[in-house]
Amino acid sequence: MKKYLITFENTYRVLEAEKRLTGVFNGVTTIPTPESMSTDCGVSLSLKSNKSRTEVRTVLKDSGISFSKIIKS
């Protein structure tokens, strides 16, 4: 199982993405953005999945949800 951290520009995008990704993937959790990461938003999503980063990116883009980064952790 792979684990990804997805960062966003604002909390609204996090909530949008959480709704969409929860319907597609299991293991979607809202978490505080790690202090070591420089972002505009203090909240990120943690996602556990067997899917690739490309597949996660595709779901977000197809849903019209903008994000900052998808990091495999």
pLDDT bin (cut points 50, 70, 90) of residue 38 is low
DSSP line for 43-69: EEEEEEESS-HHHHHHHHHHTT---SE
Question: Per the structure block, which two tokens stand in for 2?
Answer: 């792979």
- pTM (global) more than 0.85: yes
- From residue 51, alpha-carbon distances to 7, 9, 37, 41, 47 in Å are 18, 24, 24, 25, 10
Q: Residue 36 — very low, low, confident or very high, per pLDDT cuts 50/70/90? A: confident
Number of structural domains (the chain) is 1
Give the per-residue pLDDT at 39. 62
- Domain range for 46 is 2-72
The CATH number for 49's domain is 3.30.70
